[in-house]
């Protein structure tokens, strides 16, 4: 006899998120964390976007790893990702523009965890000319509320506080209201072929229903990690490194000498 409702039984037990310390311990002794198998960055810019209820500090290990590999890793400037998605995307767009300009007008790789991955995908839809590729980590791309009911209850509480006037918080109207309509439109905008798009997901995810990560426009890559642990998980880092290599190779091919001449000749 099941005592839990179907909504709770449909997701992996949230206690699986307790494996984060073990995942972090495994990362620091893994060769990938020391840069083995990671393509050299040569100053290529990367913007890191944290997940719901998290801030820039949650991706500190990844930021340091990228910087040691020669990448220009930039944080999103988010202390706690609980604000209106539309306003957040506007701020991220300005940060993306500044990072690209500071890196010599190079295109930027976007890496986002959970809600931050949906922000990254929307940002790429809005400004694809500034983006080389997107990597999402356990992100509910299909529906932002395909999440564990306990986490969804937290979202509703935050939304009610926002509706009461607490500054910096999302509101119930963000889901369907005008404030986030541009974000929803950006999420629906197909990405051009030159912008890579990789969705990393885990069936062991205790917070996001992994089916929500399977955006049809993305390359789907499965890892065996907890939701929170993707920021500290060796195999996830290997898959990020593989995506960075593909983005780099595609960018080099796009910018190869003679491309403009070929396009003109074909016109």
Q: What phi and psi, each to the nearest 5 degrees, are found at residue 221?
A: -130, 120
- The residue-averaged pLDDT of 176-198 equals 95
8 A C-beta contact, residue 95 and residue 113? no
Burial label, 19 (beta-carbon count in 10 A; 0-12, 13-18, 19+)? middle
What is the distance between the alpha carbons of residues 225 and 27, in angstroms, rounded to a whole number?
12
Give the pLDDT confidence of 13-32 residue by residue, as tens digits. Answer: 788 899 999 999 999 999 99
Average pLDDT score, the chain: 91
What mean pLDDT do residues 153-163 have? 93
pLDDT at residue 228 in the model: 96
Residue 181, pLDDT above cutoff 80? yes
CATH architecture of 6-266: 3-Layer(aba) Sandwich (3.40)
206 is written with which tokens?
């205790």
Non-local CB neighbours of 61 within 8 Å, separated by 6+ positions: 24, 27, 231, 232
**3-state secondary structure at position 148:** coil
Q: How far apart are CA 92 and CA 98, in angstroms?
A: 10
Is residue 262 predicted with pLDDT exceeding 80?
no
In Å, how far are 74, 94, 185 from 101, measured between CA atoms? 13, 11, 26
Q: Name the pairing type of β-strands 131-137 and 72-75.
A: unpaired
Q: In whole angstroms, how far apart are CA 140 and each of 79, 112, 161? A: 21, 11, 23
Largest CA distance in the chain: 70
Q: Residue 11 — very low, low, confident or very high, per pLDDT cuts 50/70/90? A: low
Q: Flag whether the pTM goes above 0.85.
A: yes
Would the pLDDT of 133 be above 90?
Answer: yes
Question: What pLDDT does residue 19 have?
Answer: 94
């Amino acid at each position: 006899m099941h005592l839990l409702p179907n909504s709770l039984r449909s997701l992996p037990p949230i206690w699986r998120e307790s494996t984060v310390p073990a995942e972090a311990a495994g990362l620091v002794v893994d060769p990938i964390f020391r840069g083995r198998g990671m393509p050299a960055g040569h100053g290529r810019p990367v913007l890191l976007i944290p997940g719901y209820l998290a801030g820039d500090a949650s991706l500190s290990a990844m930021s340091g790893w990228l910087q040691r590999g020669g990448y220009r890793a930039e944080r999103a400037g988010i202390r706690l990702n609980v604000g209106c998605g539309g306003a957040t995307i506007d701020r991220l767009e300005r940060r993306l523009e500044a990072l690209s300009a500071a890196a010599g007008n190079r295109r930027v790789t976007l890496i986002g965890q959970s809600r931050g991955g949906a922000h990254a995908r929307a940002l790429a839809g809005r400004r694809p000319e500034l983006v080389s590729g997107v990597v999402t980590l356990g992100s509910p791309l299909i529906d932002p509320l395909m999440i564990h009911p306990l986490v969804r209850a937290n979202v509703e509480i935050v939304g009610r506080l926002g509706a009461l006037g607490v500054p910096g918080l999302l509101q119930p109207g963000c889901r369907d209201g005008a404030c986030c309509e541009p974000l929803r439109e950006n999420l629906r905008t197909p990405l051009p072929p030159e912008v890579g798009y990789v969705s990393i997901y885990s069936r062991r995810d205790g917070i996001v229903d992994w089916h929500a990560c399977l955006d049809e426009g993305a390359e789907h890559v499965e890892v065996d990690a907890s939701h929170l642990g993707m920021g500290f998980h060796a195999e996830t880092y290997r898959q990020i490194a593989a995506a960075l290599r593909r983005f780099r190779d595609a960018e080099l091919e796009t910018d190869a000498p003679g491309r403009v001449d070929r396009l003109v000749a074909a016109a």
